[in-house]
């Protein structure tokens, strides 16, 4: 009897996933063929079953993404504040620490970039976050000896995100806000902190307005770029904010959008799209060549440069800072 049961169980365990996979493929084939030619060679019953299976898979995936984005208990890659900035080796040295040999500059910059990015956390904690960590830091050396870092900060929202319902078919809708609306803005070094604060507060105000109409909203992405050619030169500053909310599937995107006029708390100084700078390149005006020279290794999730609570390197996250 046992000899008979084992093959049957094995056939079921292996066969069911294969059948589901084939149905999924047939459903996708039917969708593509119908889209291109208006008809399909896949039998109607198999096509309908396969398409329903694919819809169920997409719904599960979408629901998981929604849960991650609105999860206020832990960090994940669904909510990120992306930082793009230039810096010098002196920016990552401790007070009084001598500069390393030039051949080690890229190594130092790469290893300490996560800590450099953590300096962004206090402002985030004052405005929109209750916890903030460096999730990723990618460093590239510039041809003049400086460095560019593209970093990702994961954050846990401090504000109430509103109510979301996953009953029935729901989906994520998104809306963007750009600061300034076009191009970039010249920001003096002394005003940089306030400029970033204005961006975060504008994001909060925009999400509040979306929440008033749709019942929920979370800031999914904020991209902030500030590039200065020297510590005393103005930074070229711009930001993009992406907010998402959850609603019933099939809503018209255009009518669902919220009027965000007046939510921006940011006062632009001068656009670099023309006007004051005209047709000159920034390198012509400020001097230096900021083209990328070569990329260093990527520090992902804290990497080995810093240790987690257990004292082991390579932990999933750097130790969060909470308020």
Residues 45 and 118 in one domain: no
Q: pLDDT tens-digit profile of 27-86? A: 455 555 555 555 565 565 555 555 554 454 444 567 888 888 999 988 988 999 999 988
One domain for residues 163 and 312: yes
The 10 Å Cβ neighbour count of residue 154 is 23
> How many domains would you assign to the chain?
2
The pLDDT, as a whole number, for residue 104 is 93
Contact 100, 108 (CB under 8 A): yes
Q: Tell me the average pLDDT across 107-123.
A: 94
Same domain, 206 and 286: yes
Per-residue pLDDT at 42: 53
49 with 119, same domain: the answer is: no
Do 241 and 168 belong together in one domain? yes
pLDDT band at 93 (very low <50, low <70, confident <90, very high): very high
Q: Give the integer Cα–Cα distance in Å for 19 and 99.
A: 63
Domain that residue 267 falls in = 74-322
Same domain, 245 and 308: yes
Residues 218 and 305 occupy one common structural domain: yes
Tell me: do 219 and 281 sit in the same domain.
yes
Identify the band that residue 182 occupies on the pLDDT scale cut at 50, 70 and 90. confident
pLDDT for position 64:
84
Mean pLDDT, range 238-248, rounded to an integer: 94
- Identify the domain boundary among 65, 90, 111: 65
| Amino acid 23: pLDDT | 46
* Backbone φ, ψ for residue 265 (5° rounding): -95, 10
Calpha distance 18→268 (Å, rounded) = 58
CA neighbours within 13 Å on the CB side: how many for 300?
A: 3
Same domain membership, residue 200 and residue 158: yes
> Burial of 6 by CB count in 10 Å (0-12 exposed, 13-18 middle, 19+ buried)?
exposed
Considering the domain architecture, whether residues 56 and 78 belong to the same structural domain is answered as: no
Q: Give the number of other CB atoms < 10 A from CB of residue 28.
A: 16
Interval 253-308: pLDDT, tens: 788 899 998 888 776 444 344 333 333 333 333 334 455 555 544 444 443 333 33
Residue from 271, 155, 269, 256 nearest 214 by CA: 256
- 119 and 267 both lie in a single domain: yes
Q: Is the pLDDT of residue 10 over 60?
A: no
Q: From CA 256, how far away is CA 234, in angstroms rounded?
A: 38
pLDDT of res. 184: 84
User: Residue 12: beta bridge partners?
Assistant: none
Residue 77: exposed, middle, or buried by beta-carbon count in 10 A (0-12, 13-18, 19+)?
A: exposed
Rounded-to-integer distance, Cα 204 and Cα 292, Å: 34
Contact 131, 49 (CB under 8 A): no
Are residues 160 and 82 part of one domain?
Answer: yes
Domain-terminating residue out of 65, 92, 109: 65
How far is Cα 123 from Cα 137, in angstroms, rounded to an integer? Answer: 19
Other beta carbons less than 10 A from residue 17's beta carbon: 10
Percent of the chain with pLDDT over 90: 40
| Domain end residue (candidates: 48, 65, 82) | 65
């Amino acid at each position: 009897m046992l000899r008979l049961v084992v093959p049957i169980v094995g056939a079921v365990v292996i066969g069911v996933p294969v059948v589901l996979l084939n149905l999924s493929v047939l459903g996708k084939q039917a969708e593509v063929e119908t889209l291109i030619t208006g008809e399909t060679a896949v039998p109607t019953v198999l096509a309908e079953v396969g398409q329903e299976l694919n819809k169920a898979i997409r719904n599960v995936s979408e629901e998981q993404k929604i849960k991650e984005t609105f999860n206020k208990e832990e960090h994940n890659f669904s909510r990120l504040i992306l930082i793009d900035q230039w810096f010098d080796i002196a920016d990552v040295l401790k007070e009084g620490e001598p500069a390393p040999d030039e051949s080690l500059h890229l190594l130092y910059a790469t290893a300490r970039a996560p800590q450099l990015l953590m300096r962004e956390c206090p402002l985030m904690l004052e405005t929109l976050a209750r916890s903030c960590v460096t999730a990723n830091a990618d460093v590239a050396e510039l041809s003049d000896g400086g460095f560019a870092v593209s970093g990702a900060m994961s954050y846990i929202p401090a504000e109430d995100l509103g109510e979301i319902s996953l009953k029935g078919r729901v989906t994520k809708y998104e809306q963007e806000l750009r600061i300034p609306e076009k191009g970039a803005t010249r920001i003096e070094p002394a005003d940089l902190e306030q400029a970033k604060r204005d961006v975060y507060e504008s994001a909060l105000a925009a999400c509040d307005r979306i929440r008033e109409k749709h019942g929920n909203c979370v800031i999914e992405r904020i991209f902030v770029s500030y590039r200065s050619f020297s510590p005393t030169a103005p930074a070229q500053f711009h930001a993009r904010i992406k907010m998402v909310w959850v609603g019933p599937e099939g809503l018209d995107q255009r009518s669902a959008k919220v009027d965000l006029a007046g939510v921006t708390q940011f006062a632009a100084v001068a656009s670099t799209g023309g006007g004051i700078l005209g047709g000159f390149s920034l390198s012509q005006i400020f001097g230096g060549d900021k083209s990328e020279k070569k990329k260093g290794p990527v520090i992902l999730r804290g990497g080995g440069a810093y240790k987690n609570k257990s004292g082991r390197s390579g932990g999933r996250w750097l130790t969060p800072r909470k308020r």
